[in-house]
């Protein structure tokens, strides 16, 4: 990896870069696009320990002065779990975690299957489609909107906003600010609507928690925290899942033997999804973290306040942990993969992400026995993002 353009090479072939770094420089200091130092950590043990190490803070106030600048989100979106340490993190996580238990989420299996079937019905007549636009994207967006209680008339393809926030385009400098304003406007309206007409959904439940809060600093959920939480759940709730469904479908189309084995024994879908997470999970990197003191990672001293990036994708391809890591093997033991993080910030939506991906792939394979790629593989294009690695399009015929 060059210091000048780490992201360029990473986007083109992240796994090749990570393979090299794990061997030669497992805790590697690079210069980020903004000219600031970033420590990239690539070995499984270091990444897994780092994820659960309380000395690595997610709170930007622990970044060195003049250091990390981040997305520059307004407070109404920024007061979210992924920028927080305990005790704030513990307080808020407890409030939402009840909605995301495996049992609660399992109740969604049939509704999710109906959403998948409707999308497949709409695709069926055409014989070919972009699987991302027609299926992988609308499915998680619809599911998370139903769960939160976003009314149908307010739904849209939120990908445009996420792309503007996560993949800033130097040619369109105003786009990120416009997207932020649009997102704040959207949630202000939505929360007002839900306050006026509460329903049996997650947003109404969170608003109720907010209204119960005391007026004198005993707030259980501040107004900024409420909106930030809604924002995080909506966006974290679909972006990665869209990419995982696309990446998993591509992995199957590239490995016809494993595709056939899965068709022959659909009961293996649960194990298969874990391997899709490990093999080509969308979150290449965990959220940036800041050491609250000088600390040693993998034998290297990392100064307090500098930015640490733990590579989940690299950890999941570490041959010290997963033998022949570059091979897709739906039967392998994937226990301990870190595609959904580890420790107190472990993905809140993990049961939902698993369920959606299982249902999406099962329904797709059942419906289209002749599913195949509709372009040569080298024409497929990836999104220019290390946050949610996925395909811009996945043209298929069936």
175 or 343, CB closer to ligand HEM?
343
When asked if residue 365 is in the footprint of ligand HEM (CB under 6 A), the reply is no
Q: Which stretch binds ligand HEM (CB under 6 A): 36-44, 59-67, 231-239, 265-273?
A: 231-239
Residue listed under structure tokens 């780490």: 6
Q: How far is the CB of 173 from ligand HEM (least distance, A)?
A: 28
Q: Write the binding mask 176 to 215 for ligand HEM: x where contact by CB under 6 A, - elsewhere.
A: ----------------------------------------
Q: How far is the CB of 297 from ligand HEM (least distance, A)?
A: 15
Closest CA to 268 of 360, 372, 353, 358: 358
Residue listed under structure tokens 């069926």: 124
When asked if residue 291 is in the footprint of ligand HEM (CB under 6 A), the reply is no
Residue listed under structure tokens 């690079």: 30
139 or 374, CB closer to ligand HEM?
139
38 or 244, CB closer to ligand HEM?
244
Instruction: Pick one of 286, 309, 315, 396: the residue that binds ligand HEM (CB under 6 A).
Output: 286
- Cα–Cα dist 85/90, whole Å: 8
- Tell me which residues in 142-161 interact with ligand HEM (CB under 6 A): 144
* Nearest-10 Cα torsion for 258, 312, 321, 27: 140
At 170, list the tokens: 């130097």
When asked if residue 237 is in the footprint of ligand HEM (CB under 6 A), the reply is yes
Query: 383 to each of 12, 54, 137, 303, 394, how far by Cα in Å?
Result: 10, 32, 14, 32, 12
Q: How far is the CB of 296 from ligand HEM (least distance, A)?
A: 20
Chain centre to alpha carbon of residue 165: 14
Secondary structure (3-state) at 28: strand
14 or 349, CB closer to ligand HEM?
349
When asked if residue 14 is in the footprint of ligand HEM (CB under 6 A), the reply is no
At 317, list the tokens: 């391809």
- Tell me which residues in 34-63 interact with ligand HEM (CB under 6 A): 51
Q: Collect contacts of 259-266 with beta carbons under 8 A, ≥24 apart.
A: 259/365, 261/330, 262/330, 262/365, 263/365, 263/369, 266/362, 266/365, 266/366
In the complex, residue closest to ligand HEM by CB = 349
Residue 286: other Cβ atoms inside 10 A:
24
Q: Write the binding mask 309 to 328 for ligand HEM: x where contact by CB under 6 A, - elsewhere.
A: ---x----------------
Binding residues for ligand HEM, per CB under 6 A? 51, 81-82, 93, 144, 232-233, 236-237, 240-241, 244, 281-283, 286-287, 312, 339-341, 345, 347-349, 352-353
């Amino acid at each position: 990896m060059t210091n000048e353009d780490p992201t360029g090479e990473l986007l083109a072939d992240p796994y090749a870069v990570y393979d090299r770094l794990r061997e030669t420089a497992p805790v590697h200091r690079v210069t980020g696009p903004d000219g600031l130092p970033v420590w990239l950590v690539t070995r499984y043990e270091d990444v897994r320990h780092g994820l659960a190490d309380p000395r690595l803070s997610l709170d930007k106030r622990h970044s060195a002065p003049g250091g990390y600048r981040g997305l520059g989100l307004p407070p109404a979106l920024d007061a979210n779990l992924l920028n927080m340490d305990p005790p704030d993190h513990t307080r808020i996580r407890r409030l939402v975690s009840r909605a995301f238990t495996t049992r609660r989420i399992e109740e969604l299996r049939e509704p999710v299957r109906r959403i998948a079937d409707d999308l497949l019905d709409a695709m069926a007549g055409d014989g070919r489609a972009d699987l991302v636009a027609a299926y992988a994207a609308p499915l998680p967006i619809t599911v998370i909107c139903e769960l939160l209680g976003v009314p149908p008339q307010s739904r849209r393809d939120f990908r445009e906003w996420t792309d503007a926030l996560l993949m800033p385009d130097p040619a369109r400098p105003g786009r990120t600010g416009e997207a932020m304003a649009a997102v704040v406007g959207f949630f202000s309206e939505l929360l007002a609507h839900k306050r006026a007409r509460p329903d049996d959904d997650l947003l109404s439940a969170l608003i109720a928690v907010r209204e119960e809060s005391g007026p004198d600093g005993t707030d259980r959920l501040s107004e900024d925290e409420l909106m930030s939480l809604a924002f995080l759940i909506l966006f974290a709730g679909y972006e990665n899942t869209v990419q995982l469904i696309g990446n998993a479908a591509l992995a199957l189309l590239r490995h016809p033997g494993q595709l056939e084995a899965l068709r022959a024994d659909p009961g293996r879908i649960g194990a298969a999804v874990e391997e899709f997470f490990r093999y080509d999970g969308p979150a290449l990197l965990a959220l940036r973290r800041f050491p609250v003191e000088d600390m040693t990672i993998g034998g290297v001293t990392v100064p307090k306040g500098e930015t640490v990036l733990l590579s989940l994708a690299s950890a999941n391809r570490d041959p010290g942990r997963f033998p022949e890591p570059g091979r897709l093997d739906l039967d392998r033991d994937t226990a301990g993969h870190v595609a959904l993080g580890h420790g107190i910030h472990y993905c809140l939506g993990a049961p939902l992400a698993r369920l959606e991906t299982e249902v999406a792939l099962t329904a797709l394979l059942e419906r289209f026995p002749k599913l195949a790629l509709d372009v040569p593989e080298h024409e497929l294009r990836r999104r220019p993002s290390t946050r949610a690695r996925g395909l811009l399009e996945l043209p298929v015929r069936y």
